[in-house]
Chains A and B, each alone.
Chain A
């Protein structure tokens, strides 16, 4: 047999490898991001100075810079690849069913990955405009140590109920996206083993709910406590 293959680019399976690899990388990014956010539980000037110092480190340290470029690239690739997959999938069934009982055999989240992904993308755009853009290109004041005062920008943003509410909804969407995607990525990469898969699935399901819950906890904490008012 002579081989006729598109290899690691272009084939249906390869597209899924890229979805899985970028998705899992972005999962590790979420862990790092959440760990940073946990500092927002420290209120007062102590919290402000520590958070802004951390902000400076995250925007200047070379290793973090490389990781941030990898993260941008992953979001972009995950999005473009996902859209291409969704378009192909749509084209694979030009005429749909009159009656289709999809809930009989698959979870809601697994069937709505593209929708949940687009919601997450919209969230990322809003989120980056609010903080990333202001940090890099905006005109932020400085704190007592002379660092850009990202802390005040952050805590005042979450004083608005609608902003916090948007975060809660978007992160719930992310949780649903991850509830399928985080364990599904292993299957896409060919990892399915009777001994390890149950553990992987349990771990990744816990990950899918706990990480967004952590982000939500920080947002709700800032809304309730309003640490910006105290300074």
Chain B
């Protein structure tokens, strides 16, 4: 198939970027979107043009490294898939495809389509963990009974791969879906209780410090999330934060 690609090119974090047009032919419908970009890059290198920089790693939808805003949607037109799982059979020969980096002040562009998502790591470090006694008498996690429903919901929240599609999609560049998933995966479990209040307060505080926007409850993040993380998590974070703020001693 023959395609016209319009790709955001930006030499570096401070450089001025622009959309550049690349016609490409010989794309096969069984190629993944990233393979199509690899194919483009091979051709660009042959022509002596700097290849397009984009993030990728596992290429099987579990690492959260690939990103891309394709034809106006995070991870492209598919649902519950990452860009690496998007295949060219979703497009038609003759299509024009817009490929842009995830846009947010908190996700600065490194080069071309690659953005720095370490803001997510800092939110995680602010409280997305539990403290465990490792002095030799560690209790087996399974020794504490957990209601099946809570275990399932915690697991669902934990499937968030931190790709940032929620931020990219949100009209406000809000990180609420990510933060709420990372808070919920602990707040639903007994092991998460001792640090529950500090966790939600600190992670929300870090999220605000990073410069993400606020939540308008449009629900766009849930639609575009490759893992189908539910808005229920945001509501849980909202009430946990409310109760933690009211009952916090400081």
Contacts and interface: CB of A to CB of B under 8 A. Distances in A.
Contact of B205 (A4, A8, A92, A106): A4
A91 B214 contact: no
A190 B235 contact: yes
B239 A190 contact: yes
B185 interface: no
Interface in B196-225: 197-199, 201-202, 204-205, 207-208, 211-220, 223-224
Nearest to A101: B72
A17 interface: yes
Interface stretch (A27-35, A118-126, A181-189): A181-189
Given A106-B219, A110-B219, A190-B240, A89 B235 contact: no
B246 interface: yes
B156 interface: no
Given A93-B104, A187-B234, A190-B236, A5 B214 contact: no
Contact of A1 (B73, B202, B245): B202
A77 interface: no
By secondary structure, the A interface counts as: loop
Given A91-B211, A97-B72, A8 B238 contact: no
B248 interface: yes
B98 to A, nearest CB: 4
A85 interface: yes
A93 B213 contact: yes
A6 B201 CA distance: 8
Interface residues on A, range: 35 or more
B105 A92 contact: yes
Contacts of A2: 198
Interface stretch (B22-30, B38-46, B83-91, B168-176): B168-176
Interface in A89-118: 89, 91-102, 104-107, 110-111, 113
Contact of A7 (B220, B236, B248): B248
Interface string B4-48: 001010000000000100000000000000000000000000000
Contacts of B173: 89, 92-93
Contacts of B236: 190, 192
A110 B195 contact: no
B213 A98 contact: no
B232 interface: yes
Interface residues of B, number: 59
B111 to A, nearest CB: 15
B211 A92 contact: yes
Given A1-B195, A6-B205, A192 B232 contact: yes
A92 B72 contact: no
A180 B217 contact: yes
A105 B73 contact: yes
Given A93-B213, A190-B238, A106 B202 contact: no
A185 to B, nearest CB: 9
B174 A92 contact: yes
Contacts of B237: 13, 190
B219 A105 contact: yes
B218 to A, nearest CB: 4
Given A2-B198, A92-B213, A99-B100, A13 B241 contact: yes
A68 interface: no
Contact of B103 (A1, A14, A97, A101): A97
A177 interface: no
Given A98-B19, A105-B73, A4 B171 contact: no
Q: Top 10 A-B pairs ranked by shortest CB distance?
A: A190-B239, A101-B72, A192-B235, A92-B213, A89-B172, A106-B218, A5-B201, A105-B223, A1-B198, A190-B238
Given A13-B237, A16-B215, A189-B239, 11 more contacts: A5-B202, A5-B248, A13-B241, A92-B106, A92-B213, A97-B100, A100-B69, A100-B72, A102-B220, A106-B219, A110-B216
Interface of B: 6, 8, 19, 69, 71-73, 77, 98, 100, 103-106, 127, 169, 171-174, 176, 195, 197-199, 201-202, 204-205, 207-208, 211-220, 223-224, 231-232, 234-242, 244-246, 248, 250
Interface of A: 1-8, 11-17, 85, 88-89, 91-102, 104-107, 110-111, 113, 180, 184, 187-192
